[in-house]
Amino acid sequence: MQEVIDTAHAVVDECRVHLDTDGLVIRAVDPANVAMVNEQVSADAFEAYDTDCGEIGINLERLDEVVGIADNDDDLVQFDLDPKTRKLDVQVNAVEYTLALIDPAAIRAEPDIPDLDLPAAVSVDEAEFKRAIRAADMVADHITLQVDEREECFIANAEGDTDDVDLELTGDDLEDADWGSAYSLFSLDYLKDLRKPIPTDTVVRMRLGEEFPAKLTFELADGAVDVEFMLAPRIQSD
């Protein structure tokens, strides 16, 4: 549950949560319309799950604090929604906490998921992905993500006032790849936030195009949670 919260919180402070018999869905976009998160949490991710369906509004920072009461990853967190009071009762070990919910109508409407035909895709280990962002952040505030179809390689590049950083991964270094032509510039401030909730030893799949948004997808809870981040590029002017 902590991972689910942290993933949504990387983009927004509050969100709508759709409850369905098959699981829950969180879909939100940041106030600047630059980053979007789409989380599909299967009922299989829970020890027990039962709902009459509906929609609630959650302050993710407050929920994060409450779930953080758990001592370790093995502690179960129980949520009970009272439809009359519109409050969420949370129990962690011997601690019971009543969390006031937000009227979903007071939260920004969810974004439509754009249907983008992105020509290139690479799957990289999260360690390589995070290393590229960390290195680029040492020299610049933006990073270029490129896929060279002819050379069959993925390139991350950052150019600062005095120093440059380059990371080049070929087919042997990647988990998987669909070679196509892609070249886009992205804000490192956003990528630094999006990288934080990605667990260790996770494969991150990036779909890229020519000055198109990037799609980053990965799984949580042994595949019971599907996460998709979308990040708009910084358009370069001539």
Per-residue pLDDT of 135-147, as tens digits, reads 999 999 999 999 9
**Are 6 and 32 in the same domain?**
yes
Does residue 8 sit within a domain?
yes
pTM: 0.93
**How many independent structural domains does the chain possess?**
2
**Are 63 and 140 in the same domain?**
no
Does residue 86 sit within a domain?
yes
The pLDDT score that the predictor gives to residue 49 is: 95
Which of 106, 128, 152 corresponds to the end of one domain? 106
Q: Please give the structure tokens belonging to residue 68.
A: 């953080």
The pLDDT score that the predictor gives to residue 178 is: 95
Say which residue, 54 or 83, is predicted with more confidence. Answer: 54
The whole-chain average pLDDT of the chain stands at 93
Q: What's the mean pLDDT in 195-204? A: 95
**Tokens 């601690």 belong to which residue?**
95
Does residue 233 sit within a domain?
no
CATH code where residue 69 lies: 3.70.10.10
Q: What's the mean pLDDT in 24-52? A: 95
Which of 106, 136, 161 corresponds to the end of one domain? 106
Strand (E) positions, the chain?
14-20, 23-29, 35-42, 54-59, 77-82, 87-92, 95-100, 120-125, 142-148, 153-159, 164-170, 176-178, 182-187, 203-208, 214-220, 225-231
The pLDDT score that the predictor gives to residue 106 is: 95
Confidence band for 236, pLDDT divided at 50, 70 and 90: low
Does residue 144 sit within a domain?
yes
The pLDDT score that the predictor gives to residue 71 is: 74
**Are 11 and 93 in the same domain?**
yes
The pLDDT score that the predictor gives to residue 144 is: 97
Does residue 45 sit within a domain?
yes
- Residues spanned by the domain of 17: 2-106
The pLDDT score that the predictor gives to residue 72 is: 72
**Are 90 and 31 in the same domain?**
yes
Q: pLDDT digits over 143-189, tens only? A: 999 999 999 999 999 999 899 999 999 988 999 999 999 999 999 99
Question: Is the confidence at residue 235, as pLDDT, over 80?
Answer: no
Q: What's the mean pLDDT in 51-78? A: 88
Report H helices in the chain.
2-9, 60-67, 126-136, 188-195
Does residue 235 sit within a domain?
no
**Are 25 and 93 in the same domain?**
yes
**Are 100 and 128 in the same domain?**
no
Does residue 227 sit within a domain?
no
Query: Which of 88, 106, 99, 5 has its CA nearest to residue 51?
Result: 88
Q: pLDDT digits over 68-105, tens only? A: 888 776 789 999 998 788 899 999 888 899 999 999 99
Say which residue, 233 or 72, is predicted with more confidence. Answer: 233
Does residue 217 sit within a domain?
no
The pLDDT score that the predictor gives to residue 56 is: 94
Question: Is the confidence at residue 199, as pLDDT, over 60?
Answer: yes
The pLDDT score that the predictor gives to residue 237 is: 56
